[in-house]
Amino acid sequence: MDNFLWLNGKPTSQGYIKVLPEHFVVKENLGFSFAGHGEHFVVKIHKVGENTKYVVNELAKACGVKSRDVSWAGLKDRHAVTEQWLSVHLPGKTDPDLSQFEAEHPGIKVLETARHDKKLRPGDLVGNWFELRLTDIDAPAAVIERLEKVQQHGVPNYFGEQRFGRGGNNVVKARAWGNDEFRVRDKSKRSFYLSAARSWLFNMVLSARIEQQNVHTVILGDCLQAPGRHDSELVETLDADWLRKVDAGELAITAPMVGDNALPTSADAEALELAVIDAEPALLKLIRDNRMRHERRPLLLKPEQLTWQQEDNDIVVSFALPAGCFATAVVRELMTVRELEGEHYANSDQ
Number of compact structural domains in the chain: 2
Q: Tell me the pLDDT tens digit for each residue of 302-346.
A: 999 999 999 999 999 999 999 999 999 999 999 999 988 754 444
How far CA 310 is from CA of 23, 27, 161, 246, 315, in Å, comes to 14, 22, 26, 32, 4
Residue 347 has pLDDT above 80, yes or no: no
Average pLDDT for residues 146-168, to the nearest whole number?
94
Among 31-45, 176-190, 195-209, name the one with the lowest average pLDDT: 176-190
Q: Give domain status of residue 97, yes or no.
A: yes
Q: How far is CA 194 from CA 171, 181, 258, in A?
A: 9, 15, 10
User: CA–CA separation, 60 vs 54, rounded Å?
Assistant: 10
Which of 298, 318, 336 delimits the end of a domain? Answer: 298
Q: Are residues 191 and 290 in the same domain?
A: yes
Active site residue 312: no
pTM: 0.91
Q: Are residues 87 and 176 in the same domain?
A: no
CA distance 184 to 174: 10
Query: Which is catalytic among the residues 2, 69, 77, 222?
Result: 77
Domain boundary among 65, 94, 116: 116
Instruction: Among 281, 298, 315, identify where a domain stops.
Output: 298
Same structural domain for residues 172 and 288? Answer: yes
Condensed to tens digits (0 to 9), the pLDDT of residues 144-155 reads: 999 999 999 999
CA 330 to chain centre: 11
Note down the domain range covering 61: 32-116
Give the pLDDT confidence of 207-219 residue by residue, as tens digits: 999 999 999 999 9
